[in-house]
Chain A
């Protein structure tokens, strides 16, 4: 495959409340930042990820083009998925060999609606959605199936929140673990916070990568897999799709210094680590991860961006970024980045 690298990454200072900015205003600063960092004004391809249901209106991505200054017209596409899949599409597009740079972004404002109820609308509309199981209840089913240890979950939450407090882009969340359950066995602290935010990444192929970035984060492998939708068809204690994607991306071919995992619930981190067979010395979610900031539709892209950041700043040589979609980790994307 053609060598493609992440050469720039920017994200908003994510917030747990609506700051009154619209999607275009949310995106514009991060687009501007990656443009300035690379010196690029035009890109060979542009791809974004967002979700109409978060905005509560069709075509939430349409006005985003106004933030890009897409004139003259640009070669552009959009996935109704986390921005991580927009990055995947852009990586594929760069494999064609006729363009060398791509802009990728993802954005979402979860504060405007009821995320748990919205996520319920993702379920099979005939057989599952009418049951009224919300996202939290689904996650709790998986946590039960995985038999997650309470002390381990609490430790994941404390570590994530402490790291998040050190990350200017993440939320400031307290150390205290609340009593009682949100939905047993999950506590409210095990659940990623409602967050608004956006992120942007620039990809460059071949020689362009080094021209645009001193330490490009090369995509050594990237793959994703989906599983059956119905929970009864899956072993919820494991993530077969993550394991398959990790194998295809080559996670096990070398050491993993840092892994940024799209775990929206504390127990998902346990399942994902196991599925990827991450070594014990791998640092997990040093950014604080989704438990410290979860701007839905950008969270997965941010994991990849954060994994790249450690290579950009020279603190790591091999990292992993992961993104997830669908109820109970139905769909997983894994990318391996190397210096």
Chain B
């Protein structure tokens, strides 16, 4: 079976609307350097580089790995560029881990970024292929009907989304890298913001961020510092246009979770997983993914959110970092989830550390809720 793999370094930039002080290369190098510093290594110690980002139209640079090879110390080494829509950050971590699990390399640098200020993501998401219809709605417009269908099915009360928006922003106040740090955030403030895509209000949606995240992944024999061990990795995809697929509770998400739980020996995720970093770009995706990932029975996810169980001091904290709702450099958002999961089990999450976290889930999704990437990391060797 696959070789053991561990996260030995994590680096993040501060997430913000516009990083005017750095180029794209400067941005990714900042995250990479911090990950190397965390691992006590230099670029020389890296065997291969894997980079991920969301569509190239977001910055207007086609296949930018070519240009970023120099900044990431990749010259003379293998370099890969991953793109799996919104799940790409997660997939990037998995492709990097795969190189170690396959016994090809000992140390791999994985980096993901988005510099949204260089272009306009909603515009980039609204162009379309010839001969196919365009909704011209961006991501929020695409997902809002799925959320309404979730509310219809479950009878969830309207304020549940607001609770997630507040909870994740309260967590963000404890995360120095978070983009949206809103003092005094509360339900009233969220409810006072404009309705963007019914039922998603302005403060129930993710920001547009510049930022990069990096990790150093290591084989067992090359571990330095404090490792977070991989206990399971999985990806699943399903076709966007398949008639009859359930976009509210996608089969690919369920299958991906089942695969990663099986590898990690998880049978009761709510009890066994100490903290989860889950891709929630719109508030309502917390209750939806609670069900999809088996933390709650179907139709019951919103009750878990409403009970406060997913808060930092709840029994199953979700997005202790503030999540995608607080920082969203799109291509990096998945990698940040995976990295935050690693930070938690390494005991290095700072103010938003979940006490005694031993097993953590990192999750990312993308496309029309059709691409999924997940990993489970643990303090102990598997």
Contact surface of A with B, Cβ cutoff 8 Å: 1, 22-23, 46, 51-53, 55-63, 65-66, 68-81, 85, 88-89, 92-98, 112, 118-119, 121-126, 128-129, 223-230, 233, 240-241, 244, 325-327, 330-331
Contact = CB atoms under 8 A, between A and B. Distances in A.
Contacts of A65: 237-240, 370
Enumerate the 5 nearest inter-chain pairs by beta-carbon distance, A residue then B residue, closest first: A95-B102, A58-B55, A73-B252, A80-B83, A326-B66
Nearest to B92: A77
B228 interface: no
Interface in B50-66: 54-66
B18 to A, nearest CB: 16
Contact of A70 (B24, B54, B130, B239): B239
B293 interface: no
B61 A79 contact: no
Contacts, number: 208
Nearest to A47: B95
B46 to A, nearest CB: 13
6 contacts: A51-B56, A73-B251, A76-B236, A226-B75, A228-B75, A331-B66
A123 B56 CA distance: 13
A75 B235 contact: yes
A96 B1 CA distance: 6
A96 B2 contact: yes
Interface string B221-244: 000000000000011111111100
Contact of A228 (B57, B69, B251, B368): B69
Contacts of A230: 70
Interface stretch (B121-129, B181-189, B209-217, B300-308): B121-129
A71 B238 contact: yes
Interface string B57-93: 1111111111111100011111111111100000100
B194 interface: no
A107 to B, nearest CB: 13
A75 B373 CA distance: 10
Nearest to A21: B131
Interface in B267-316: none
A68 B67 contact: no
A327 B94 CA distance: 28
Given A1-B103, A58-B125, A73 B81 contact: no
Contact of B57 (A58, A74, A123): A58
A244 B103 contact: no
A53 B80 contact: no
B23 A126 contact: yes
Interface in B240-268: 240-242, 245, 250-252, 255-256, 259
A1 to B, nearest CB: 7
Contacts of B60: 121, 125
Contact of A226 (B2, B79, B250): B79
Given A73-B252, A77-B82, A89-B95, A121 B239 contact: no
B200 interface: no
A22 B55 contact: no
A78 B241 CA distance: 18
Nearest to A222: B104
Contact of A61 (B65, B69, B83, B104): B83
B83 A79 contact: yes
A70 B70 contact: no
B241 A70 contact: no
A99 B362 CA distance: 23
B199 interface: no
Contacts of B131: 22
Contacts of A93: 98, 102
B339 interface: no
A75 B236 contact: yes
Given A51-B63, A122-B67, A227-B69, A78 B83 contact: yes
A63, A66, A124 — which one has the most chain B CB atoms within 10 A of its CB?
Answer: A124
Contacts of B333: none
Contact of B237 (A70, A80, A123): A70
B253 to A, nearest CB: 9
Given A77-B95, A85-B80, A226-B77, A325 B66 contact: yes
Contacts of A126: 23
Contacts of B324: none
Of A57, A76, A80, A81, which is in contact with the most chain B CB atoms at under 10 Å from its CB?
A: A80
A57 B237 CA distance: 20
Given A73-B237, A98-B2, A122-B66, A63 B129 contact: yes
Contacts of B62: 51-53, 118-119, 121-122
Contacts of B76: 225-227, 240-241, 244
Contact of A122 (B61, B78, B103, B125): B61
B367 interface: yes
Contacts of A74: 236-238
Contacts of B13: none
Output the residue of A62, A69, A119, A228 with the most chain B CB within 10 A.
A62
Nearest to B105: A92
B63 A95 contact: no
Pick from B64, B66, B98, B255 the residue with the most CB of A within 10 Å. B66
Nearest to B129: A57
Nearest to B58: A58
